[in-house]
Structures are given as structure tokens and as C-alpha cells.
Amino acid sequence: MAALTFIHQNLLHSTPKLTTSKPNLKPKRTKTKLSIQTIRESPQASFTDQFVLQLADSLEDSLPSSSSSLPLQKLRDNSSEALLSTQWPSRKDESFRFTDTSFIKNSDINPISHPPNSLDLLEVSRDTQFESFNFVDGFLVDSSFSSSKLPDGVYVGSLSKLSSEGILKRVCELLGDFEWGDLFWSVNGLGAPDLMVVYVPEGCRVENPIYLKYIAVEGADKGSKKMPLSNPRVFVLVEKGGEVGIVEEFVGKAGSECYWTNSVLEVVVGEGGKVSHSYVQKQSLSAAHIKWTSVRQEKTSTYELVEVSTGGKLSRHNVHVQQLGSDTVTELTTFHLSVGDQTQDLHSRIVLDHPRGYSQQLHKCIVAHSSGQAVFDGNVKVNRYAQQTDAGQLTRSLLLEPRATVNVKPNLQIIADDVKCSHGAAISDLEDSQLFYFQARGIDLETAREALVFSFGAEVIDKLPYSFVQKQVKDHVKALLKSRRKGSS
Amino acid sequence: MGKNGSGKSTFSKVLVGHPDYEVTGGDVVFKGENLLDMEPEERSLAGLFMSFQSPVEIPGVNNIDFLHMAYNARRKKLGEPELGPLEFYAYIYPKLDLVNMKTDFLNRNVNEGFSGGERKRNEILQLAVLGADLAILDEIDSGLDVDALQDVAKAVNGLLTPTNSVLMITHYRRLLEVIKPTFIHIMENGRIIKTGDSSLAEVLEEKGYTAISAA
């Protein structure tokens, strides 16, 4: 599978608009059979990586000594075992071909073993404008959210405080059952100090979104090699016909620069259920941020993800959506912004095994720094029984500086023979015709560029389902783009 | 007026500084200044306006934000204080009636998903908001239904004052019946080959361009 690498050569004179296929290609039914090879996410080495082993040891040492509940213990055991045969990923592994993780490896990784002191917590809760559930350095702390606002039967909170046997049994059945995880998945599985459970019972519609705020408090200075590691983990289970909105926001406390957040979110959507997921990543520009989102969808269920990632020196989002029944709806919409020496990476995989699935993916990224990078590997797999699948995928990148880099690898693997699939990739500078339209109305080129760059991302931001999230994300992106402009002038 | 391909649109695009065209010779003097020395935005701020025949879509940019930006650029040029969003809303609201548009029109993205008629109305709305000493309206009547044509014509007539000028490009007499031109110029191969009063349109309608070229 060929990957595309484009380096923006000249800002003013060339408009590299390259398409693998027309972005606006009218989808048509294809009868083409493509032979595919099975690609394992990473070749599993049989021997042990000493570095990983050491990391696993320090993770185990960091865990609270009190005995944990059964599902969590099972998860730790499995993860610990997996780590024994997993190596730190290198550029030779297909899924890390364009993503250099040595920045993390070369740091002094230090798993955080206890939540910060109460003074810091106070500061954190004062900072939060909306009622939220707060993770601080991977630990779930008392939330500002009053549970009385939740409908009957809904549980949101720590696994350790879960009293319902029924829910516990369901969590036990489903937690961590995932064959596609990589090293970072297992690191979280071993190192997560707690598990947050969001449970929505059958037929229940949760009106207000569940707002999860992940705050990194412990952080080293930019220059030091130290890298405190946190492993927050959330499990969302929506039973048949249930509906819930999840908002995840990742931030670093002001002054915390260098840290590593390694987060996992698992979602199971029951028959006819719906999960609307908003994911906003605003980490420090010196931080490492790795996230897994694993979704399993039963028949006629809906999962919608809107992601906006702007922070982190290295930020990677792995999304895996597995279809468990027919007639599912899956929408992934992503906006990545690199305004500094940053890598923004999205690795997504949608696996369709049942008829009449619908999946739509839009990935947009802006690289606004000469050593900035964006990576997109979007795989949609339409297997033999996934007839009448309707799958679309589009990636659009905007490179604003010479040497800004984007590596995109949109790919569809189709085995079923009666499907409607389209995909496209476009990499470009801003459209001249649009810039001229601004100028013709008296708006100078710089202002026009700024408005157009912002509007490029606004298409995704506008899809965030809650206006309060939309507004704060817009303000944040505007400020980042402004800081870039100031920095360059 | 003039045949297809005679250079009417090209001429107007050159005047406003479209980047697709390079001027190899000559001057264009507008209010005592050479237009060709100016950037497109400076030409606009100097009082020149052109309505696009097919204006581009700008996804993600709100119509009202766009107008606000353009209007404030103008005020800045005139040395007047820029208007805040609320003040601007108060300023623009009455203008909507002029082109017979609903308020939600302002919250849509610039030209995105606009019908042919809406695009033309939007161009006229921009003219109404920004004002111009010389407005070039390139086929403002094409693709308009009868009612929309009346709206647009009414708006243009309302904007005409003794101190400004409108240059219209059209193929049809229909428009000229509602906006009365002082002169009609016929262009062929990039040159004005005939100038007359509004009666020229009738001759055209009856006998076609061949009659004019031959004469």
C-alpha cells in the first residue's frame, strides 16, 4: 500500500493539490474485488524488550497496594503478559512508520503513583467551568457533578465504588477484550490505577453530556528529561436503545510542560444505542499524548466521534471501531493542528463484518510550522458479509509553511462485492480564488489567510454537538493561530 | 454589452486586479490614481466594486463575519473606529430588506449552498454594505427569476446616487428596462466599437450584433 508523503515546497508559487482520487468523486457501486493481505498492527517479537520490561516493573510499583476488583486485576494480568512479548515500536513497524516515539523512550519515564495534593486539586476544580468528572494525573477525583442529575439506573464513577453486581458482571465480560492493542494499550492496562465506568441501562437516554476532564498536574520543565506518566482509563457501556454523550477534554495545568498522558477509552454500544463522543486534546506543546479509543457496535447502533487535537509534542490517537451487527452508523470527524514542532497522528480502523453498515470519515489537518507533522492512517475494512456497506473517507491537509510535512495513508480494503465506497485525499495551500474574493472586498491578504485557515478547521469544530465545547475550542484554536502569526512576524 | 467572449468580464476582472490576468501595457486611472499600481484590496478600498458572475463558496466563514471584516477594513481606511459585532448587526439589519433576504442568510457560510438567485442577492448586499464609487455588475441578471430580478434591480436603483456610477454587463434588455442606463457601450474583441443611449439595446434585440459590427 503506497503512502503519500508531501512536503510543501513553496508557499507562494505552487499549489500542490494532489489527489489519490477525486475528493468529490461520486460514489459508485463497485464490483472490483481487491485481494488483501492481512496486516498485523506490529510484528510481535518473541523476545522481551528490556526497556519495556523496566517500564512494566515501574508501572507495577506505582499501583496502589490495596487489592483491586476482579475486572481490573484481570486487565492488569493480561496487559502484564502482553508487555512481556511486546517491543517498543520503531519506525520499522508499519503502524509507526511515520511516527517517531523515541522522544518518549529517551525520557526518564516515571509513572505517577498518587494523586496530587489537595491544594492542587482545589485549583483544578476552580478552573473547571462546567460540571465535570475530573481525572487528575490519571486518578479519578471527586467530581463537581452531582449524581442526582443522572437518570435512574445510570452509573458514572469509579469501578471501586460500584455496588451493582449486575453492572460489575457486564463490565467483567467486556472489559479489555481487544486483540488489536499495541504497547501503549497494554501500558495503560497495566498502569491504570482505577477504572471509570459509565453505564447506561436499556432504553435510557441521558440528557446532559458526561463531561470528562483529564488534567495533567505533575509535569517537568521543558529542558529536563523527566516525564511523569499517567494512565487514565474509562469504560462506557450503553445497553440496548440507550443514548449518551461523552465529552473528553485533555489539558495540562499551567506550568506543567513535560508529561505523558496515556489514555484508553473503551465503548460498547448495544443494539439501537447511540454514543456521541467529543474529544478535545489541548495538552502542553512539550507533552506526549497517546490515546486509544476502542468501540464495539451492535446492530443498528450509532457512534459519532468529533475530535479536535491541537496540543502535545507527540500526539497520537488510535481509533478502532468494530461492527458486531448489521445497519450500524459510524462517523469519525477529526481536526488536527500543528502550530509548533509537533506531530499529530490519527490511526483509525473501521472493521465492517455485517450488512448495510454506514461509515463516514473526515480528517482535516493544518500544519503551520516548518518542523510540524501530521500523520493519518485511516483503514476501512469491508469484509465478505458486509454487503451494501456505504463507506466514505476523505482527508484534507493544509500545509502553511515550507517543509511542513503530512503523511496520509487513506485505505479501503473491500472484499464484499456490492458496496458503495469512496475515498479521497487532497493536500494544498489555500485556494487563490477564495483569497481573491476577500481581497476584492477590501480585506488584506493576511487577514484573509487567517480567516480561511480558521475556517478550514471550523468545518470540524462546528460538528461538536455542544455549543459550550464548540466555543471554547474555537477560542483556543484562534489563539493558537494568532500566537503562530505573532511568532513568525 | 457584447457577444460572448468579447472581453467584457475579462476587462472587469483586470480592473479589480484578478490574479489570473497580467497587464502588459497601458494605464487605468481611477479618481486620479493608477489602479494598476494597487493591490486588489486597495482598489476595493479606493471605491471600486465588482460583483462576481459566479462567486466562490467559502465554507466555514460566516456571511456576517465576512461582511463585518470587509466593512471594518473600509472604516479603518477612512480613519473611523471599527464597529463591534452588535453595532454592525444594527447597521446591516436594514440592508437585508433592500435585497429581500431573511436574517438567517447572515448566519450561513459565504455562498455555500446558495442558489443562483441568493448568490446574486448576496453580491448586491455586499455592495449595499460596503458602498462604491464605481460598481461593476457582471451579469447580475443571469439565472434570476422574474421576482428576484425585480428585487435586485430595485436594490441597485436604490444604491444609485448622483455621486456614484454603475457599470453593468448584460445580455438582455430585460434588465435595462428596470435599471435605465445612461449609455450603452458595445464591446467586440476587447474594444468598445459603439456607444449610444438606451435605444441601442432595442436595435440589438431586433437585429443582433452583426448589424452593429457591420455599421
The answer to whether residue A19 scores a pLDDT higher than 60 is no
Q: What is the mean pLDDT of residues B171-175?
A: 87
The answer to whether residue A116 scores a pLDDT higher than 50 is yes
Taking a C-beta distance cutoff of 8 angstroms, is the pair A311, A279 a contact?
A: no
When pLDDT is cut at 50, 70 and 90, the band that residue A110 belongs to is very high
Interchain CB contact of B41 with A (< 8 Å): yes
- The CA-based angle B65-B69-B75, given to 5 degrees, is 140
Q: Locate the chain A residue with the closest alpha carbon to B72.
A: A443
As to burial, measured by CB atoms within 10 angstroms (0-12 exposed, 13-18 middle, 19+ buried), residue A94 is middle
The answer to whether residue A455 scores a pLDDT higher than 70 is yes
pLDDT tens by residue, A168-209: 999 999 998 888 899 999 999 999 999 999 999 999 999 999
Helix, coil or strand: residue A439: helix
CB contact under 8 A, B130 and A443: no
pLDDT tens by residue, B38-58: 999 999 999 999 999 999 999
Query: Which residues of chain A make contact with B58, given a CB cutoff of 8 A?
Result: 434, 437, 452, 455
Rounded Cα–Cα distance for residues B194 and A470 (Å): 58
The answer to whether residue A380 scores a pLDDT higher than 70 is yes
Q: Kind of pairing, strands B134-138 and B48-51?
A: parallel
The answer to whether residue B59 scores a pLDDT higher than 90 is no
Report the run of H or E that residue A407 belongs to, with start and end: strand A405-414
Of A432, A436, A443, which has the smallest distance from its Cβ to B70's Cβ?
Answer: A443
The answer to whether residue A1 scores a pLDDT higher than 50 is no
pLDDT of residue A127: 53
In three-state form (DSSP H/G/I as H, E/B as E, the rest C), the secondary structure along A159-219 is: HHHCCCHHHHHHHHHHCCCCCCCCHHHHHHHHHCCCCEEEEECCCCECCCCEEEEEEECCC
Q: Locate the chain A residue with the closest alpha carbon to B58.
A: A434
Q: What is the mean pLDDT of residues B61-80?
A: 94
CB contact under 8 A, B61 and A451: yes
- The CA-based angle B21-B25-B29, given to 5 degrees, is 90
A126 versus A278: the higher-pLDDT residue is A278
When pLDDT is cut at 50, 70 and 90, the band that residue B33 belongs to is very high
Cα maximum dimension of chain A? 69
Query: Which residues of chain A make contact with B39, given a CB cutoff of 8 A?
Result: 439, 444-445
CB contact under 8 A, B77 and A454: no
Please count the CA atoms within 13 angstroms of the CA of A480 that sit on its side-chain side.
Answer: 26
pLDDT of residue B208: 86
**Among the ranges given (A16-25, A213-222, A278-287), the one the predictor scored with the smallest mean pLDDT:** A16-25
Q: CA nearest B109: which of B147, B144, B61, B157?
A: B61
pLDDT of residue B169: 94
CB contact under 8 A, B56 and A434: yes
pLDDT of residue B202: 87
The answer to whether residue A5 scores a pLDDT higher than 60 is no
pLDDT of residue A79: 94
Q: CA nearest B18: which of B56, B73, B66?
A: B56
Of A440, A443, A456, which has the smallest distance from its Cβ to B50's Cβ?
Answer: A440
Q: Locate the chain A residue with the closest alpha carbon to B52.
A: A437
pLDDT of residue A34: 40
The answer to whether residue A477 scores a pLDDT higher than 60 is yes
Find residue A392's DSSP bridge partners: A360, A422
In a mutational test of the A interface, the residue from B12, B69, B112, B119 whose CB has the highest number of chain A CBs within 10 Å is B69
pLDDT tens by residue, B91-120: 999 999 888 888 988 999 999 999 988 999
Q: Which residue has the cell 455555500?
A: B112
Instruction: Identify the contact set of chain A against chain B, taking CB-CB distances under 8 A.
Output: 431-434, 436-445, 447, 451-452, 454-459, 462
pLDDT of residue A276: 98
Rounded Cα–Cα distance for residues B154 and A261 (Å): 62
pLDDT of residue A129: 58
CB contact under 8 A, A437 and B55: yes
Tell whether ipTM is more than 0.90: yes
**Among the ranges given (A7-11, A100-104, A172-176, A225-229), the one the predictor scored with the smallest mean pLDDT:** A7-11
Q: What is the mean pLDDT of residues A33-61?
A: 69
> Is 0.95 topped by the overall pTM?
no
Rounded Cα–Cα distance for residues B108 and A362 (Å): 21
pLDDT of residue A328: 97
Q: What is the mean pLDDT of residues A440-458?
A: 93
CB atoms near residue A178 (< 10 Å): 17
CB contact under 8 A, B60 and A441: no
The answer to whether residue A20 scores a pLDDT higher than 90 is no
When pLDDT is cut at 50, 70 and 90, the band that residue A30 belongs to is very low
Of B41, B56, B59, which has the smallest distance from its Cβ to A443's Cβ?
Answer: B41
Domain ranges, ordered by start, for chain A: 4-436, 437-489
pLDDT of residue B136: 96
Helix, coil or strand: residue A311: coil
Phi, psi of B104 (to 5 degrees): -65, -15
In a mutational test of the B interface, the residue from A443, A446, A461, A478 whose CB has the highest number of chain B CBs within 10 Å is A443
Report the run of H or E that residue B86 belongs to, with start and end: helix B85-98
Query: Which residues of chain A make contact with B19, given a CB cutoff of 8 A?
Result: 432, 436
pLDDT tens by residue, A409-437: 999 999 999 999 998 888 888 889 999 99
Q: Locate the chain B residue with the closest alpha carbon to A436.
A: B18
Q: CA nearest A161: which of A174, A182, A143?
A: A143
Q: What is the mean pLDDT of residues B187-215?
A: 86
- The CA-based angle A99-A101-A102, given to 5 degrees, is 130
Taking a C-beta distance cutoff of 8 angstroms, is the pair A422, A16 a contact?
A: no
Beta strands in A2-53 (DSSP E): 4-7, 18-19, 28-30
pLDDT of residue A39: 47
Q: Chain-wide mean pLDDT for chain A? A: 87
Q: Which residue has the cell 516525564?
A: A227
Interchain CB contact of B130 with A (< 8 Å): yes
CB contact under 8 A, B44 and A442: yes
Question: CA of A321 to nearest chain B CA: how many angstroms apart?
Answer: 28
Rounded Cα–Cα distance for residues B123 and A367 (Å): 33
Of A434, A445, A447, which has the smallest distance from its Cβ to B58's Cβ?
Answer: A434
Q: All 3 cell numbers of residue A479?
A: 489563539
Sequence-separated (6 or more) residues with CB below 8 Å from residue A365? A334, A335, A336, A337, A338, A344, A374, A376, A395, A396, A397, A398, A406
CB contact under 8 A, B126 and A452: no
How many helices (H) and strands (E) chain B has is answered by 8, 9
Helix, coil or strand: residue A225: coil
CB contact under 8 A, B52 and A433: no
Interchain CB contact of B39 with A (< 8 Å): yes
Q: CA nearest A149: which of A196, A202, A208, A213?
A: A208
The answer to whether residue A119 scores a pLDDT higher than 90 is no
Rounded Cα–Cα distance for residues B183 and B164 (Å): 15
Q: Which domains are assigned to chain B?
A: 8-182 (3.40.50.300)
Q: Locate the chain A residue with the closest alpha carbon to B44.
A: A442
The answer to whether residue B4 scores a pLDDT higher than 70 is yes
pLDDT tens by residue, A53-62: 999 999 999 9
pLDDT of residue A112: 93
The answer to whether residue B161 scores a pLDDT higher than 60 is yes
Residues of A408-444 as b/e, b for ≥16 C-beta within 10 angstroms? bbbbbbbbbeebebbbbbbbbbbeeebbbbbbbbbbb
pLDDT of residue A12: 32
**Among the ranges given (A56-70, A237-251, A300-314), the one the predictor scored with the smallest mean pLDDT:** A56-70
Q: CA nearest A220: which of A244, A255, A190?
A: A255
pLDDT of residue A427: 86
Rounded Cα–Cα distance for residues B164 and B185 (Å): 18
* A467-488 and A445-461 helices, crossing angle to 10°: 150
Q: Locate the chain B residue with the closest alpha carbon to A451.
A: B61
Q: Chain-wide mean pLDDT for chain B? A: 91
Q: What is the mean pLDDT of residues A303-317?
A: 97
pLDDT of residue A67: 64
A289 versus A66: the higher-pLDDT residue is A289
pLDDT of residue A255: 77
Taking a C-beta distance cutoff of 8 angstroms, is the pair A314, A285 a contact?
A: no
Query: Which residues of chain B make contact with A450, given a CB cutoff of 8 A?
Result: none
Q: All 3 cell numbers of residue B89?
A: 448587526
pLDDT of residue A36: 44
Q: Which residue has the cell 435585497?
A: B99
Sequence-separated (6 or more) residues with CB below 8 Å from residue A125? A134, A144
CA distances from A319 to A97, A267, A336, A371 (A): 17, 11, 15, 25
The length of chain B is 215
The answer to whether residue A126 scores a pLDDT higher than 60 is no
pLDDT of residue A22: 38
